[in-house]
Structure 1
């Protein structure tokens, strides 16, 4: 720790002295332990404060160093160097900071994630390992890792990163499967915010087409969840994705599926009015589709009378929202004319 404090150019009580960045990086290379990383972030956070005179220049210097420097995940002795199978894969300083986050105090978590966000502005191209680590860390202790959500969504504003995130090994297994069923509302709100950001980007359309079955098999589990918030957020996300112009092919495939129609119709019968309302915005796409398959028409005709009666005057309190009233009447009319 003494080496790190020297690199930071301060005593532990002197928070405003300058950082010797080259020495700091050298120190990190030799001992990238969690305590060192916590002190690193504390020092950088001071540099990035609004009252720092050379903030812009230092930020650029720190950004370049942290993005270009690789630290060993652990000390490597001579034996490991001679045996490639024992060499630990290098990890960037940024990834080490993320890995350390769960062990920090709450305020330190916020400070760390905010500092990393500033260093990653504008977002540089990031490797799959970054998103795998980020998702794994979030899943390890979801409530304590909420500050990482903003960092994740910020990096996804670069289209290349969004593609990397969607195709990372943990997207389908953690981001879409484990986190959305958390009992914690804040965690659910955060992960669905990330899904909305990622799946509504133009780069998501090719992913959704290529991984259609893998994605929607998992997504339908969320629609059937016992958790009210999960069902509601999932329906909101689904209607947004289906109605996005760049996802036209995905929408047509989805609304041609009888299984998807049945799930949506069951959600129309949900005891919660808000779930019914969100389900309507998916159901309407099935009904007004001018190219309905014979099977879809058959199911709609079988339930024609019940559906039309159900929709009559339904959700009156929402009639002032956008074009809802007109859409509801169009769906009823289309059903009656089948």
Structure 2
């Protein structure tokens, strides 16, 4: 499940159901038809109410609206995206941000990029960080071994990389870094890459997946019920994304007791603090060195495990929902 999907589902569990009405098309639609429905039908169906649009987009004709903008990647890095998708959001995002009553963002990084690229006023943008589900905790060995068996992993000693397979996740440099160090590691240590390929309508291709280094295992999509066990069973977690609006997987890994390596760009430093190893995600040698240190240094892993559990404990969905509801109430009263 991608971060924005998890965000919406977690908040819908916690917002007061008697005060929230969900509006959706009669059947699932996507692409240009979905945007057409959003810009034409949704305004008619939400008339008279405050509209909350939780996923980067919303109807331009409605000012009595709160929109959550998770990142501005189509503006900052259109080259990573399908050209039509990027062009639509480069047109939509600035106009929508200036039009609506409030904008919720998920990190100070995204807020700063939003202010710089859209010209929206500072006091209209409120930062509400994401949370970590209570399912992500250290697991018992039996549960972890069961997940390893179900996913067909070749070993129980693995470094995990998780996320949709798209360019900004920086999988190519992670694989090149693994190629640098794998022969210096014990033969039973593998790199496990989990996640479904990004939608072709949105993301460009990831060519590095066509020629994998030795001891790399692709799980594909991971069922949500196995995810906590997959995190907790890993020796280390690697998330070398070069651009994130927030970056939920590192927090989930740390909450699971797994030492974590992240890129030092965008929102990730503010999310992990000093509870993870940070490296330049554009430097293959730095990534390789960070991986090697995490795998070989047991005392470093133990320190990061304790720091990670403490850091992740500061983020929870109840707090996210409470702060979001406060923003919605203020916008409704205005």
Interval containing the TM-score (normalised by the shorter chain): under 0.3
1 or 2, which has the higher strand percentage?
Answer: 2
1 or 2, which has the higher helix percentage?
Answer: 1
TM-score between the two structures when normalised by the length of structure 2: 0.24
TM-score between the two structures when normalised by the length of structure 1: 0.24
* Pair member with larger Rg: 1
The one of the two structures with greater contact order (alpha-carbon pairs below 8 A, sep at least 6) is: 2
